[in-house]
Chains A and B, each alone.
Chain A
């Protein structure tokens, strides 16, 4: 199976900060990677698909990059509504896997 490792596990940042979350795959997944945001008690929300494509309706301060085994999600200027847990997901083959999540707290 392809294992996805996110870092950091928790992150505390201030409004206006630039925030970066990293996701590493145990083997190459090309660009078959998505990023989701989940708030407590809610379903995850798709932010980025195919590593760098912004989902419709998602604010442009979110961006994704990377290919192969290393990927990043960047929030260019952190907003109060950006708190929550962020997950990466690989869907390169017949068995999707998620990262363990990064909990983002607003200072």
Chain B
């Protein structure tokens, strides 16, 4: 059964770049949509973006100028970089996998909390 595990620093300074990795175990990273979603404490879900291939990415327009997503198939990992972070980027960050056939977020990681603070 496929499992996703997010990892990365739990604390990032303002104006720096947040870097997170999602490690996929028990399944292939190929032929799926890979998504990042975040959730500030006590608030709702915000979709950050989706990666299928280098030529097929979609990002939330409100974050697009600061977001980069990529996949490393050799390591079975999916990554997120969010630049110029502020306190507003403090949230739990989830990675999630969606089959191409449905595009719904069928498998989620447990989430990793990130705090932006000096």
Q: Give me the interface of A with B, judged by CB distance under 8 Å.
A: 1, 32, 34, 36, 38, 42-46, 49-50, 53, 55, 87, 89, 91, 94-101
Contact = CB atoms under 8 A, between A and B. Distances in A.
Given A49-B104, A97-B47, 11 more contacts: A38-B45, A44-B105, A45-B108, A89-B47, A91-B104, A94-B58, A95-B47, A96-B35, A96-B60, A98-B44, A100-B44
A87 to B, nearest CB: 6
Nearest to A56: B106
Q: Which 4 A-B pairs have the closest CB atoms?
A: A49-B104, A43-B108, A34-B104, A96-B47
11 contacts: A1-B61, A34-B104, A44-B45, A46-B105, A55-B106, A87-B44, A89-B105, A91-B98, A96-B35, A96-B47, A96-B50
Interface string B77-103: 000000000000000001010100011
Contact of A46 (B46, B106, B110): B106
Interface of B: 35, 44-47, 50, 58, 60-61, 94, 96, 98, 102-106, 108-111
Residue of A53, A55, A96, A98 ringed by the most chain B CB atoms within 10 A? A96
B58 A95 contact: yes
Contacts of A49: 102-104, 106
Nearest to B107: A46
A43 B111 contact: yes
A17 B35 CA distance: 35
